[in-house]
Amino acid sequence: MKILHVEAGKHLYGGARQVQYIAEGLAGRGVETVLACPVGSEMARQAPAGARVVAIRMGGDGDVGMLFRLAGLIRREKPDLVHLHSRRGADTWGALAARLCGVPCVLSRRVDNPESRWAVALKYRLYDHVITISEGIRQVLLEEGLAPEKVSCVRSAVDPTPFLAPVDHEAFRAEFRLPQDALVIGVVAQMIPRKGHRYLFAALPALVEHYPELHVLVFGQGPLLAELRADVVARHLEGVVHFAGFRHDLARWIGGIDMLVHPAEMEGLGVSLLQAAAAGVPVITSRAGGLPEAVLDGVTGLLCPPGDVAALGDAIDRLAADPLLRHQYGDAGRDRILAEFSIDRMVEGNLAVYRQVLGQ
């Protein structure tokens, strides 16, 4: 079996990292694996082990030439199946290229944003099968008219190994210039509106009154950085909220936080939540999209209605006041990651879909 993967993302964020896991897992199972990605992307520089990377120009949804470049690649490589992993033109141009070449294609859908029924009926007929990374996304597509036999859920995975080592808490506090008695909230997310940073910032002033030792580490980057910094200043939280940027060594430090807060308005599943759980960190997040699949309410963390600042503040207050509960949720979260979100399980799930599509 030969699979051509198409990933148009330029950075190794959550979705692209999943593609890397799948490509390496398939190659390890003897599947010939080719990965098309943008010229100059991190994926091109950090090729998945055992996979062959082909870097081509990918200009996004408006890049009509992407159709012909991908079609040329398909004709040269002659894969049995094309697996499309992202938007940014890969979903539409990639599907049209596969159809043009008479090769079956599969789409991985990682977001839960709604689409109109006519768009689903028109767009999704291009794919032989759709793989969602959570049951929540699968339900969105079913509600919009996609046939049940055409969509399967294969959850995203996390490599727990880098997150299992205990964190040196003195080194952690020194790295981020935190006082020794700091109670630390972590946020790991792109700085874009749907991630909901503003809801956490709105809840913080009341929390800081009760917990003067509270500090927030915000990991990530994105177009809202300046706006979020201004929000922190407006709320007089400069000494509380610390912008730590995008960290390639996040696995080394994430276990040092006391809780992860992810107040997203929508989310496919939330890989950063799985990583935090692997590190033994309890998670507070929204009851939206696939997030309730990443966090079990009252077992590995707490769920709040999306956009509900008061409920978010209450959840943080509950964990801030109870170290034993934090440890209980953290231990349960780590156990669940090891049992249910393995890379092997994800790779086998994708491979099963390929075999179904190819009639094997």
Q: Which residue has the tokens 């896991």?
A: 21
Distance from C-alpha of 151 to C-alpha of 271, rounded to nearest angstrom: 21
Q: At what angle do helices 323-340 and 309-320 cross, to 10 degrees?
A: 100
Q: Which amino acid is at 245?
A: G
As a whole number of angstroms, the distance between CA 185 and CA 218 comes to 8
Q: Are 220 and 191 in contact (CB under 8 A)?
A: yes
Which SS3 state, helix, strand or coil, does residue 37 take?
strand
Ordered by where they begin, the domains of the chain are 2-157+342-358 (3.40.50.2000), 161-340 (3.40.50.2000)
Q: How many CA atoms lie within 13 A of 195 on its CB side?
A: 23
Measured between alpha carbons, how far is residue 126 from residues 88, 112, 290, 342 in Å? 16, 19, 25, 30
Buried/exposed 269-283: b ≥16 CB within 10 Å, e otherwise: bbbbbbbbbbbbbbb
Q: What is the pLDDT of residue 215?
A: 98
Give the phi and the psi of residue 242 in degrees, each rounded to 5. Answer: -125, 125
Burial class (CB in 10 A: 0-12, 13-18, 19+), 169: middle
CB 90 within 8 A of CB 57: no
**Residue 241 C-alpha from the chain's centroid:** 23
Q: What does each of the 360 residues of the chain score in pLDDT, given as a tens digit?
A: 999 999 998 877 778 889 999 999 999 999 999 999 999 998 888 888 999 999 999 988 899 999 999 999 999 999 999 999 978 888 999 999 999 999 999 999 988 777 788 888 888 999 999 999 999 899 999 999 999 999 999 999 989 999 999 999 999 999 999 999 999 999 999 999 999 999 999 999 999 999 999 999 999 999 999 999 999 999 999 999 999 999 989 999 999 999 999 999 988 888 899 999 999 999 999 999 889 999 999 999 999 999 999 999 999 999 999 999 999 999 999 999 999 999 999 999 999 999 999 997
**How far, in Å, CA of 295 to CA of 32, rounded?**
35
257 near 284, Cβ under 8 Å? no
Retrieve residue 25's tokens: 């897992």
Residue environment code for 8-37, b if the CB has 16+ CB neighbours within 10 A, otherwise e: bbbebbbbbbbbbbbbbbbbeeebbbbbbb
For the record, the structure tokens of 6 come out as: 């198409």
What is the rounded CA–CA span in Å between residue 284 and residue 135?
20
Alpha-helical (H) ranges within 110-177 are 117-123, 135-143, 161-164, 169-175
